[in-house]
Amino acid sequence: MRPLALAAAVVLGLSPMMAACGAEPPVRLAGPIAAVIPRVAPVRPPTAAEPPPRRTPPPQAALRDELLQRFEGWLGDMPSYTARALREGRPYPEGDLFPFVLPAHAYAMLAEQGVVPKAEARGRIEALLVPALRAVKQRVGDPMRLTSYGGQGTYLGQLSLVLRAYHRLAGREHRPLADHLRALLADALEAAQGAPLMSFPGQVWPFDTLPALLAVERPDLTAAHLAWLREHATDPTTGLPASRLDARGRPDAEPRGCALSWRIALLGELAPEEAARLYPLYVEHHWLERGIAAGFAEWPGGREGKADADSGPVVMGIGSAASSLGLAATLSQGDRDRLGALLRSAERARRALPSLADTFHLPHDERYVSGFLFGDAVL
């Protein structure tokens, strides 16, 4: 997994199961238990003089709304946004793709939550798909002409996942392409027999198989993949999945926070039991509290390591990508305490960013919440 990648809807939009933003799920009672619950009079609807009770906004609502307002302004001029995103995304391996597919996915989730009208979300996604499809064509060729996935799991999986979200909003465009991509990815997953797909030819970051599994919606393939990871690609010290495999399919990089946060967030929808199994291990080995700052470590135990395009800046062991994506991980697991800690730390960091930017070599452009456009796309 590479750059900061995909809080994709970390705060802008989350999977449908996360839409309640930490609210308790409804309890459904049946059988003997239901029989002993006393009958309760129906709740009286509020009168005209008695407005309905206000719902408490989710903890991340302020950040979500600010980002949404900014993207609404930027996407009103797609040629300008596209040019700026491509120019500023050059340092990142997926800099020609993520600034488009991540906001597109976020709009789909926001529409499912009722935050954005579905018709408006469809229009935004259709506009964002234009440069996204161009990026895929430049990387892999015309996707409709592909006869195999060609080792391009990252680009094809991310595109397929966004098309799935778009069509759940009754989007009418690109249905043949979506069907073709799902078939290619399903064939590749079946042939892999549980092993991860290649992210790029000859390179394997196991996380990049998850978007493909979500897009394909085959529980048998998901189960086979998770079983393979537990047997062949699990770090014996932490019990967490390795972040990268070598050409022979053996782990060659320890678990990393940027991959784990995103993994747990997506597993919250794809395989909730697996997400619930991994999250306590992740907290045990990666959660750090450093006085006024708290977040997820990029490397186990918060040990120091070289920051890269995946991790983003690492300060006191806390990874910026791991913690940004950690917002989605905490939401998926209903961990409101750590969600609150992450949001408070992010706000403190944001206020201090102008003075810290030079010291820690942090991006700082006041047009962006995170200091840079790619970071805002991730959020």
Q: Which domains does the chain have, with CATH numbers?
A: 60-378 (1.50.10)
Report pLDDT for 238.
97
User: Which token pair is 120?
Assistant: 């408006």
φ and ψ at residue 208, rounded to 5 degrees? -65, -10
167: CB partners within 8 A, 6+ apart: 175, 178
Report pLDDT for 65.
94
Report pLDDT for 51.
57
Report pLDDT for 311.
84
pLDDT tier, 291 (very low <50, low <70, confident <90, very high otherwise): confident
User: Which of 124-133, 231-240, 350-359 is predicted least confidently?
Assistant: 350-359
pLDDT at 201 over 90: yes
Report pLDDT for 363.
66
Binning the chain into helix, strand and coil, the percentages to the nearest 5 are: 55, 5, 40
Q: What is the spatial distance between Cα 79 and Cα 158, in angstroms, rounded to a whole number?
A: 22
Strands 251-253 and 244-245: antiparallel
Average pLDDT of the chain, as a whole number: 86
Looking up tokens 């000859």 gives: 202
pTM of the full predicted structure?
0.83
pLDDT tier, 36 (very low <50, low <70, confident <90, very high otherwise): very low
pLDDT tier, 365 (very low <50, low <70, confident <90, very high otherwise): confident
46: CB partners within 8 A, 6+ apart: 52, 53
User: Which token pair is 5?
Assistant: 């990648």
Mean per-residue pLDDT for 274-280? 98
**What is the percentage of the chain residues whose pLDDT exceeds 90?**
68
- Residue among 104, 95, 12, 118 nearest 58 (CA): 12
pLDDT at 104 over 80: yes
pLDDT at 270 over 50: yes
Report pLDDT for 228.
98
